[in-house]
Amino acid sequence: MTRALLITNPAAARTAARAVRAVVETLRGGGWSVEVRATTRSGDARRFAEDARQGGFDVVVCYGGDGTAMQVAAGLLGSDIPLGIVPGGTGNLLAGNLRLPRSPVAAARAMLAGRTMALDVGAVERADGVHYFAVACGTGFDAELMARTAPADKRRWKMGAYVVRAISLLPTLTSVPHRVTVDGRAHEVSAAMVLVANCGEIVPPWLRLHADVVPDDGWLDVMAVRADGVLDSVGALWEVLRASARGAGGADPRVWFARGRCLKVEVLEGAPRPVQLDGESAGETPFETQVLPGVLRVLADPAALRRAPMVARQPA
C-alpha cells in the first residue's frame, strides 16, 4: 500500500476543510494510506517534507499554492520520494505547467494514475540560506507585482488581483541598466523585468516564453524586457507573444533571450530591485542562480503535457 503524507496550507486560497477531506477520501479510495499535516507557520511545509524522508512515506502530497509547493519540494530534493500537487493557491503555476487539473478531487485522481517525472529546479542563495524555484524567478516588474499584491486580495479575487495590480503599475514602469551574466559571459541590457525561467509558461496556458523551454532539459532560460510606460509595455508584451509563436527571439530590441546553466543578475544604476522566486518575495538584487538537473521527482501524466519538439537554440 502506498503511504502518503498530505501537507496542507490553510492560508492558501482554496484549501477548505471540506476539500481536504475530499482529497483524502479520493486517495484512500485509490488504495493509499494518507496522513495529514497542516502548516501553521513559515518553514513548516519544508520541515514536514524533510520528516517524511525519515518516516517511511512513499509520496508527499502538497495542497496549497506555489510557495507551499516549493517549500515541500525543497524538503524532498534529491530523494526518491515524488511530490504530488493539488493546486490550492492563486497562481498554481507549477501545476499549470504540468497540466494538472485545478479541481482538488480531479488532481487527486490524476495523482493516482500519474507517473514519476524528474524535473530540474533553480537554486538561489540568499542571506537566510538556499531557496529554490521550479517555474521562474526574476526581478523588476514581476517581483514588484508579487510584492504589492495583498494576500487578502489574492484570496478574494484569485488571479484577478494580479491583473488589477499589474494595470496600476504599468504607468510607473521604467527600464534600468542590468548586467546579466550567463555561464560567465556578461551582457548589459536595459530592462523593466528580467525573468529566469525553468518552465515555459509564465501564465499557463496563455503566456509562454518559447516552445522549447521545458523543466527537464538541464537549462535555464532568461528573458529581459525593456519597457517604459503603458504603450511600450503593450508593445513588448506583443513581441513576447510573437516570439513564443515563432519559437525563437526576433529582431525587436525590447525583448532579449539567452540560455545557460548559471546566471547572475545585477542592477547597474539606481536602487536594488525586488526579487521573486515562484511568486514569493526573496529580497533584492543582485541574485545568482544555477540549475540543478533532475533533482525533483513529481507525479504527473507525461501524455497530458503539450510539449513541442525542441527548437535548436544555442546558449548565449
Contacts of residues 167-176 at CB distance under 8 Å and 24 or more positions apart, as own/partner, are: 169/141, 169/144, 169/145, 170/229, 170/230, 170/233, 171/229, 171/230, 173/141, 173/227, 173/228, 173/229, 173/230, 173/232, 173/233, 174/228, 175/226, 175/227, 175/228, 176/267, 176/268, 176/269, 176/270, 176/273
**Mean pLDDT for the chain overall:** 87
Q: What is the DSSP letter of 81?
A: P
Note whether 83 and 298 are within 8 A (CB): yes
Residue 314 has pLDDT above 50, yes or no: no
Left, alpha or beta for 193 (phi > 0: left; psi -120 to 50: alpha)?
beta
**Length of the chain counted residue by residue:** 316
Beta-ladder partners of 289: 124, 263
Beta-ladder partners of 87: 64
* Residues whose CB is less than 8 angstroms from the CB of residue 113 and which lie 6 or more positions away in sequence, other chains included: 301
Cα 111 from Cα 271, distance rounded (Å) = 45
Q: What confidence tier does 154 reach under pLDDT thresholds 50, 70, 90? A: confident
Spacing of C-alpha 142 from chain mean position: 12
Residue 313 has pLDDT above 60, yes or no: no
Instruction: Please report which residue ranges of the chain form alpha helices under DSSP H.
Output: 17-29, 44-54, 66-76, 93-97, 104-113, 141-148, 151-157, 159-169, 229-246
Cell numbers standing for residue 160: 484577478
Highest-pLDDT range among 83-97, 178-192, 227-241, 293-307: 178-192
Tens-place pLDDT, residues 103-147:
999 999 999 999 999 999 999 999 889 999 999 999 998 888 887
pLDDT at 175: 94
